[in-house]
Structure 1
């Protein structure tokens, strides 16, 4: 059984390296390549320094919407890339909308509208997985861009985050793991590791300004503040049914085949 490699970052409880995961046919993912965490609004100055000096992080992928979270400051030695998956409308209207809606954990209406008619107050753990697939499709351009950045000449150790570090972060990380054939059970287990400190994490996030908030009268179900294995399993099933493979999803999103080849070279231990 894989041991979760938690990062030692002051005031972060959901930060981890996704290296060491078993790959179909043998081998494991390489440590120090891809990491994940919750909102950097919780990071202390010491944490930012440790990201660069102790863990070698060079790039930060921010998947949050425009206007979500505190103002993004520059970090010495780190390049921050804003790759919003949702709420990408330009201008002040986007900022206002993002502050009102934000993460799926807070009831992301942006992905709930449409033909399926999701009721965010009554979404179960399987419905959360179906919402994940819609999120992936809505943010496909950012996913393709993330893969490009992970494999270009300036690539290096990268940490991915959104607000809770489980929904938007969870589906991007899961698909990057799928690209190198990580065992399905390991992908689900990595996603569900967020449950370990989930209550404490949300307590800290809810105390911060400019975080996603529910619109009045639109409560989200408990499933949207969970990281149940069934949610990730439903997402993986839906992805396979609609696209066949994660590679096909990325290619249809605009990724180049060579990016997938380079990602496998960089992320797999022989």
Structure 2
């Protein structure tokens, strides 16, 4: 595994910079451009201030659904963008579930959370997959369904990243593994980051995953398994095979991550601008 550029945030176990990764042609991704983490519900005010002072974060992309997690507060010096990965294209089922959850203090949103919670029913039916027994390869196939469901949010994320007002950006969902992992992987693949590095970055979540979930599960209104709905261990893992399966599926269906963004509604020139911003000359 490559050296992980962890962010020094005591409240976070899955926060890291994805700079310094190898890109085709002997180049590297720039540090301080794109960072990732788990739910910010764990952050203290001191850590939020550190995001600005130590890491220069100016934008945060929140991929969680409406009603998921604690109420979103303003962070001085940081623009927080709500880009619900499942909420936009999931339709009324997701919105109704989120609204219902939001009216019950401490309740977890039903059907709109991380794949790690087994709450993927709004992604559409896949008769080949059983959430109770799905393996690490099947988890990658679920990632493709999730990416397609939230493709407009991904296109918007790319647009924000190349905007003239863009700055160092932190991406998160709840575990910082599924929704965050898919977006970050696509953004890296679109500029030619070596596939092995993309997979290794995703799998780095495994290092602290048990303690991370213990902390997340102790917070109110996080995605949790529905009563009586089992989920396979693969859904709470970050196995390299899952990311490999996802990348294979993207290539098979779209030909490239860049083409995925274009079909999602992104302009082709945004991809060039993103490469200029993210890849060191």
Tell me the TM-score normalised to structure 2 length: 0.93
Partner SS, residue 159 of structure 1: strand
Asked if residue 56 in structure 1 is aligned to residue 56 in structure 2, the reply is yes
8 Å Cα contact 1:111/1:131 also seen in 2: no
SS at match of 1:149: helix
Q: Is 2:261 aligned against 1:250?
A: yes
CA distance in 1 between partners of 2:115 and 2:245 (Å):
16
Q: Secondary structure of the equivalent of 2:61?
A: strand
- Of the three residues 94, 99, 107, the one matched with 2:109 is 99
Specify every segment of 5 or more residues in structure 2 that has no aligned partner in the other structure, as ranges.
102-107
Other-structure match for 1:18: 18
Q: Calculate the aligned-residue CA RMSD, in Å.
A: 1.4
Separation in 2, partners of 1:134, 1:118:
12
Whole-Å Cα distance in 1 between the matches of residues 245 and 100 of structure 2? 31
Contact kept in structure 2, 1:111 and 1:135, CA below 8 Å: no
Secondary structure in structure 2 of the residue aligned to 1:99: coil
The offset of 1:236, in angstroms, is: 0.3
Q: How does 1:129-208 map to 2 (within 5 A)?
A: 129-208=140-219
Partner of 1:87: 87
The offset of 1:87, in angstroms, is 3.2
The answer for the alignment partner of 1:126 in structure 2 is 137
Change in CA separation of 1:119 and 1:78 when aligned onto 2, cut-off 3 Å: same
Corresponding residue pairs, total: 270
CA distance in 2, matches of 1:127, 1:191: 16
Residue 66 of structure 2 is matched in structure 1 by 66
* Cα distance in 2 between the residues matched to 1:32 and 1:118: 38
| Per-residue deviation, 1:135 | 0.3
Compute the displacement of 1:75 (Å).
0.3
- Tell me the CA shift for residue 108 of structure 1: 1.9
Q: Counterpart in 1 of 2:105?
A: none
Determine if the alignment matches structure 1 residue 44 to structure 2 residue 33. no
